[in-house]
């Protein structure tokens, strides 16, 4: 039987299968009851979703990164939104800490799908009123949505963590490619560090070749910064190139630890001292890397929900004068 909140005026927060590790803590921080979903996987591969709450007239927030298995998590998100809409939710807000299909954002070849735009259309058509994303692969993806998009940044959270680490003093921030320079410049400014750039090319998907290193890295401690680590080929090749160029040590940080295919083995074997990531994507204990340091983004999401629900400024979250202590995520981040 559905729970009833006759005088409930706060937001209702739900966690999808891939977002439970975040929804639990977000609700705890906001002092909210966590909304319950019943997700069924049928024998033929279909997904079924049931909302176990009364959401009529409620301001609903669904936390669901569309990480691997991407298609299953995306379909679950769409079905949950449809169930909320048919149950007369007043407003449906989707929080996607990781937006799958974001890299298919342009036609770089003939006769290919513009998948990022299609997924944006599907989300809007399902009945979502607002989308909250974290470090989109390219900022212009916000324009693919015909609904409101709030773009959150993990950079302030990660750099505050780095500023408190002894090993992160006197760093050179290194961009693994030319397209990522804007993000790396922001990190360099916050860390009072210099900037270097790796010039590379991609002869095929998930394959990269380092061509040149622009900037001084010899005798320096280097920090590779990217929005995600997928198969880890790019970051591992960059780490080897930096060590060959005379870097004293190489560390890496990324918002989204996709870590697909051979990524974990590559990272373990690469000349990387440590890899700092967020818990935008759940990781399992049996797959944990000793090098992996996970920074918690649940406080950021909780504050964003509070501000959106109360019609406060979201951009104020990134005020450099606000000195919130970043936290490490629990080791068990299973969704």
pLDDT of residue 210: 59
Residue 192 sits in the same domain as residue 228: yes
Residue 111 sits in the same domain as residue 31: yes
- Kindly report the CATH number assigned to the domain that includes residue 285: 3.40.50.2020
Residue 6 in any domain: the answer is: no
Residue 29 sits in the same domain as residue 61: yes
Residue 136 sits in the same domain as residue 216: no
Residue 24 sits in the same domain as residue 83: yes
- The span from the first CA to the last CA of the chain, in angstroms, equals 25
Residue 5 in any domain: the answer is: no
Residue 242 in any domain: the answer is: yes
Residue 188 sits in the same domain as residue 263: yes
Residue 166 sits in the same domain as residue 283: yes
**200 in active site:** yes
Residue 90 in any domain: the answer is: yes
pLDDT of residue 241: 92
Residue 259 sits in the same domain as residue 221: yes
Active-site annotation holder among 200, 218, 291, 293: 200
Residue 249 sits in the same domain as residue 302: no
Residue 135 sits in the same domain as residue 162: no
Q: Which domain holds residue 46?
A: 12-153+297-328
Reading phi first (left if > 0) and then psi (alpha if -120 to 50, else beta), residue 76 is in: alpha
Residue 65 sits in the same domain as residue 169: no
Residue 211 in any domain: the answer is: yes
Residue 27 sits in the same domain as residue 141: yes
Residue 225 in any domain: the answer is: yes
- pTM flag (> 0.85): yes
Strands 249-257 and 221-229: parallel
Residue 137 in any domain: the answer is: yes
**What tens-digit pLDDT sequence spans the chain (335 residues)?**
444 444 456 899 999 999 999 999 999 999 999 999 999 999 999 999 999 999 999 999 999 999 999 999 999 999 999 999 999 999 999 999 999 999 999 998 899 999 999 999 999 999 999 999 999 999 899 999 999 999 999 999 999 999 999 898 889 999 998 889 999 999 999 999 999 999 876 656 655 565 689 999 999 999 999 999 999 998 999 999 999 999 999 999 999 999 999 999 999 999 999 999 999 999 876 556 889 999 999 999 999 999 999 999 998 887 655 445 567 776 444 44
pLDDT of residue 317: 84
Number of folded domains in the chain? 2
Residue 112 in any domain: the answer is: yes
């Amino acid at each position: 039987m559905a729970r009833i909140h006759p005088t409930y005026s706060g937001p209702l927060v739900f966690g999808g299968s891939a977002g439970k590790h975040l929804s639990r803590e977000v609700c705890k921080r906001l002092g909210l009851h966590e909304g319950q979903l019943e997700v069924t996987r049928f024998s033929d591969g279909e997904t079924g979703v049931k909302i176990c709450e009364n959401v009529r007239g409620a301001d609903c927030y669904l936390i669901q990164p569309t990480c691997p298995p991407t298609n299953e998590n995306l379909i679950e998100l769409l079905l949950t939104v449809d169930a909320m809409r048919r149950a007369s939710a007043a407003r449906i807000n989707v929080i996607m800490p990781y937006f799958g299909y974001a890299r298919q954002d342009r036609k770089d070849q003939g006769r290919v799908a513009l998948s990022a735009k299609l997924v944006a259309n599907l989300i809007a058509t399902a009945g979502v009123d607002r989308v909250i994303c974290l470090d989109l692969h390219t900022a212009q993806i916000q324009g693919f949505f015909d609904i409101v998009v709030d773009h959150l940044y993990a950079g302030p959270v990660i750099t505050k963590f780095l500023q408190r680490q002894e090993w992160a003093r006197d760093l050179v921030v290194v961009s693994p490619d030319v397209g990522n320079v804007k993000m790396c410049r922001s990190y360099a400014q916050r860390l009072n560090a210099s900037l270097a750039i790796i010039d590379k090319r991609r002869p095929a998907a998930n394959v990269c070749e380092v061509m040149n290193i622009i900037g001084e890295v010899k005798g320096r401690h280097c920090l590779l910064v990217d929005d995600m680590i997928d198969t880890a080929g790019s970051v591992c090749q960059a780490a080897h190139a930096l060590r060959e160029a005379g870097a004293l040590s190489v560390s890496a940080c990324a918002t989204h630890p996709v870590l697909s295919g051979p990524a974990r083995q590559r990272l373990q074997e690469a000349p990387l001292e440590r890899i700092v990531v967020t818990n935008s994507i759940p990781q399992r204990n049996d797959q944990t890397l000793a090098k992996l340091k996970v920074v918690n983004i649940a406080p950021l999401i909780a504050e964003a929900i509070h501000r959106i629900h109360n019609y406060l400024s979201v951009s104020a979250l990134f005020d450099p004068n606000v000195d919130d202590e970043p936290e490490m995520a629990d080791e068990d981040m299973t969704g």
